[in-house]
Amino acid sequence: MKTTTGWDILNTAAEKTPLTRDRIDVSTQVDLQGYIADEFGELFNSQYWPELIPPFLNLPNVANQTFSKNEGSVDPNKPEMGDILTILTRDPRVCDRWTNIDFEEGNGVVFVDTHLSNLYVEYMLPYPGVTFPDMDPDEMSLNAFYAQIFPRRFKHILAHRAAAQLLTASGDAQGAGVQMGLAEKKLATQINRLPPPPEWRRIRTRPGYGRHSHFAGPPVWSGIGA
């Protein structure tokens, strides 16, 4: 994953205004930290960004049609999972046939519509989590925020939005509007660069359940040659 830092985002935001970072008082920097943390959370969950999707996780001991999302885990062998994207019977990176498994996410657990014990799970990194801890000023110091990594693709989106906040605070509503417009253009550019979803990620949303409720319908053979 290509990354940037909180310091780089704040500095870039300041450069988009008449200010420099050393002229932004600490109180304003903390406010910007909170704003960037909120905006980052929304960006994080807005798309299935490839760099936020780890390789398939093999679960060889699924029992009672349920497995844990390992909330709070720092064990690399039992990583905490964010949104579940796909559950398959085989690893599609090394085979050409697999079955998509219907599932529902519960409170820290996932319920699967199969009695199979060996499954492959595709998931998003969680936010907050190990890689991206909670960046709210109540949870993270300003110095730690400066050192915190972010996906590089978010740098200018967040910097333009933070610059808009600075300009709004200084009374420059027109300049703030320009910066927000530039942020939206940067976001659209990044979305347009996303690759099409792989064929195994057969996700549909149940009406009324929101974008994070997924099902794949009756298990069917999928994949090349199916």
Dump the DSSP string for 114-182: ---S-EEEEEPPPSSSSSS---STTTS-HHHHHH-EEEGGGHHHHHHHHHHHHHHHTT-HHHHHHHHHH
The per-residue pLDDT for 212 is 37
> Does this model's pTM top 0.85?
no
Position 20 scores a pLDDT of 66
In angstroms, the CA 67 to CA 19 distance is: 51
Please give the chain's pLDDT, 226 residues, in tens: 899 999 999 999 999 998 766 678 899 999 999 999 999 999 999 999 999 999 999 999 999 999 999 999 999 999 999 999 999 999 999 998 999 999 999 999 999 999 999 999 999 999 999 999 999 999 999 999 999 999 999 999 999 999 999 999 999 999 999 999 999 999 999 999 999 989 898 654 333 333 333 333 333 334 433 3
Quick one: pLDDT at residue 23?
76
Number of CB atoms found within 10 A of residue 51's CB: 12
- In this prediction, residue 18 carries a pLDDT of 85
- Phi and psi angles of residue 199, each rounded to the nearest 5 degrees, phi first: -65, -25
pLDDT, position 216 = 37
